Structure 1
Amino acid sequence: MDIHIEKKIYEFLNINVSNMSSDWIAQAYTSGTGIYAESKDSEAYQQISSMNKEFIIALTDSLFGKETSLNEWSSSLASNRSHTGTPLYDVIVNSSIFRSIYYSYIESFIEEYENEVSGKMVINWVRTISRKFDEAIQLVTKKYMDEYEYIFSSQQETILELGTPVIKIDKHIGIIPLVGEIDTYRAAKILESSLNKASEMELEWIILDLSGVPVIDTMVANQIFQLKETFRLLDISMIITGMRPEIAQTSISLGLDFSRMKTFAHLYQAIHYLHSSQSINDS
């Protein structure tokens, strides 16, 4: 009897895959951003429907001993939602909405075959469905956060890269104009990217302009000193401009000797100095 009724519900759920997906899409929640905010007749929702149907089939198979892995499905869904800027909250809410819809179809089947369905069978179905839904949302959440952290990290790297330009002002002179707060991580990225760029540009002089930097702590001051020393190994001389008195004091307290490095209060003074030096050398 159990095998007979389980075959019937298995067929019933598979027959209604499209209906369940349509019901869910009709009720899909959106906070106003991301893929769920698209028009319901858009290509985006066709993709949503396709992925939802895959999940329904996997879920239904697992109800009757055909255990399926949701790893690949979860990775695909998480990647899509994170890359479309869909809030994780929307993903979780819509999972809850679909869970209710799936249960409603189970309920409809039970009402139709109430004389053939035992309480034990219902409990087993509910337990399996809950476990599979929980597994799916846990996998999606983890993979979504992994994707989000990767995207965020990549964006941060791009921002740092763009925020640390080496501007070539003539054949052998470049400027690194720093703006905003400099922490230890950003200082390290400046060290890495500016060295590469300066070397590629075949510069002889680098002007590190600190006039747009409000505060520098001891660790960052040390990084600047290291940057100067590393440039020296590449046969590139570094000049610092815009160094505030408090930054100079921080450097002195660290025992960092910037006295052997050219420093100027203003950027134009450094450029004038270098151009004057070049003119003398050329003559």
Structure 2
Amino acid sequence: MDLNIMYKDFANFIRSNRDDLLVEWMKEMEQQADSRISDIVTEVMYEETSHEFIDLIISNVTEAGITFNEKLDDFAEKVVLLGWPVHFVTSGLRIFGLLVYKAIRNEEFFVKKEVEAENDAYYRFESWLSSMYNKIVTAYADTWEKTVSIQKLALQELSAPLLPIFDHISVMPLIGTIDTERARQIMENLLMGVVKHRSEVVLIDITGVPVVDTMVAHHIIQASEAVRLVGCQPMLVGIRPEIAQTIVNLGIELDKIITTNTLKKGMERALALTNREIVEKEG
């Protein structure tokens, strides 16, 4: 029998027995699902996604390559966003394959006598299922990598934001540990931000940085010097006593950088540098 015809027979059988297969498959998969899935996916969403999964398997044979690939990409993106681990997805395909094979092994088109291994119906079914397995795993992996990459970029942007507070005055609040990768992001965001917002003064607030060692201090000074070169006055605010002592012990020169111990004092200095001040309104 021609492989394409055999594969279409598989798909037609699944379509004809879709509801019964789905019920059996979901029973089996309930035993495989861990608490992470049940906690984040509602029963309705789980059932809807399961229907979509079986429809995807059928469309692997019955629809054109481009249409199937589009459906596969959409499905992979959906299960990644739902938090389904790859082992749950691949286990689902394996279990579904076993259920289908058990259901159709006595069908007339599936019974063969004295045939070679490569022509055996089970071999053909396994080949079809393996092809589907590989496609799903590849699509899942690609989608996962894209998702992680997007999330990483978003986190990097949030980890070193430059905020325009007043005209020509911007603030970069830094929170948490600063490593080499984050220091590079700080430098890029500072330079791009001061040019974009036409900042004349930028306050680098290190109140939330727990440790300022040699490396951190070096990166901050480098970023401040780079800001000065594009015509913006850097200010280092949030200098706690222990940080001041560390900077002195390291012998770091801050003569070209304005420093204050609080953001409030830094803002007052920034307003003065841009010929403004905060005044109380009478009555």
| Residues in 1 aligned to 2:214 and 2:149: alpha-carbon distance in whole angstroms | 25
SS in 1 for 2:105: helix
Alpha-carbon displacement from aligned partner over 1:36-79 (angstroms, at most 9, x marks no partner): 9435775x555434312113659xxxxxxxxxxx8776545423
Q: CA deviation at 1:250?
A: 6.1
Give the structure 1 partner of residue 80 of structure 2. Answer: 82
Aligned length: 266
Q: CA deviation at 1:220?
A: 3.5
In the alignment, does 2:254 pair up with 1:258?
Answer: yes
Q: Which of the numbers 38, 51, 69 marks the counterpart of 1:32?
A: 38
Which stretches in structure 1 are left out of the alignment for 5+ residues?
A: 59-69
Please tell me the residue identity of whatever aligns with 2:14.
V
| Aligned-residue identity in percent | 23
Q: CA deviation at 1:232?
A: 1.1
Given that 2:22 and 2:51 are in contact with CA atoms closer than 8 Å, whether structure 1 keeps it comes out as no
Change in CA separation of 1:49 and 1:131 when aligned onto 2, cut-off 3 Å: closer
In the alignment, does 2:162 pair up with 1:157?
Answer: no
| Residues in 1 aligned to 2:4 and 2:253: alpha-carbon distance in whole angstroms | 82
Change in CA separation of 1:226 and 1:278 when aligned onto 2, cut-off 3 Å: same
| Residues in 2 aligned to 1:217 and 1:106: alpha-carbon distance in whole angstroms | 68
Give the structure 1 partner of residue 198 of structure 2. Answer: 202
SS in 1 for 2:204: strand
TM-score, with length taken from structure 1: 0.74
In the alignment, does 2:183 pair up with 1:177?
Answer: no
Please tell me the residue identity of whatever aligns with 1:53.
I
- Taking the TM superposition and a 5 Å limit, the aligned residue runs for 1:79-158 are 79-109=77-107, 116-118=112-114, 120=116, 124-158=120-154
Q: Which of the numbers 49, 57, 74 marks the counterpart of 1:52?
A: 57
Change in CA separation of 1:150 and 1:243 when aligned onto 2, cut-off 3 Å: farther
SS in 1 for 2:202: strand
TM-score, with length taken from structure 2: 0.74
Alpha-carbon displacement from aligned partner over 1:107-128 (angstroms, at most 9, x marks no partner): 1226x875x5336358733334
| Residues in 1 aligned to 2:172 and 2:116: alpha-carbon distance in whole angstroms | 72
SS in 1 for 2:101: helix
Given that 1:207 and 1:240 are in contact with CA atoms closer than 8 Å, whether structure 2 keeps it comes out as yes
Please tell me the residue identity of whatever aligns with 2:160.
T
- Taking the TM superposition and a 5 Å limit, the aligned residue runs for 1:228-247 are 228-244=224-240, 247=243
Given that 2:8 and 2:62 are in contact with CA atoms closer than 8 Å, whether structure 1 keeps it comes out as no
| Residues in 1 aligned to 2:238 and 2:228: alpha-carbon distance in whole angstroms | 21
In the alignment, does 2:182 pair up with 1:186?
Answer: yes
| Residues in 2 aligned to 1:11 and 1:148: alpha-carbon distance in whole angstroms | 31
Change in CA separation of 1:153 and 1:48 when aligned onto 2, cut-off 3 Å: same
| Residues in 2 aligned to 1:242 and 1:76: alpha-carbon distance in whole angstroms | 47
Please tell me the residue identity of whatever aligns with 1:179.
I
SS in 2 for 1:38: helix
Greater CA drift, 139-148 or 230-239: 139-148
In the alignment, does 2:18 pair up with 1:21?
Answer: yes
SS in 2 for 1:16: helix
SS in 1 for 2:207: strand
SS in 1 for 2:166: coil
Please tell me the residue identity of whatever aligns with 1:51.
L
Given that 1:35 and 1:86 are in contact with CA atoms closer than 8 Å, whether structure 2 keeps it comes out as no
Change in CA separation of 1:217 and 1:22 when aligned onto 2, cut-off 3 Å: farther
Change in CA separation of 1:222 and 1:23 when aligned onto 2, cut-off 3 Å: farther
**Cα RMSD, aligned residues only:** 3.8
Give the structure 2 partner of residue 66 of structure 1. Answer: none
Q: CA deviation at 1:256?
A: 4.8
Given that 2:203 and 2:234 are in contact with CA atoms closer than 8 Å, whether structure 1 keeps it comes out as yes
Q: CA deviation at 1:9?
A: 6.2
Given that 2:168 and 2:201 are in contact with CA atoms closer than 8 Å, whether structure 1 keeps it comes out as yes
| Residues in 2 aligned to 1:185 and 1:252: alpha-carbon distance in whole angstroms | 25
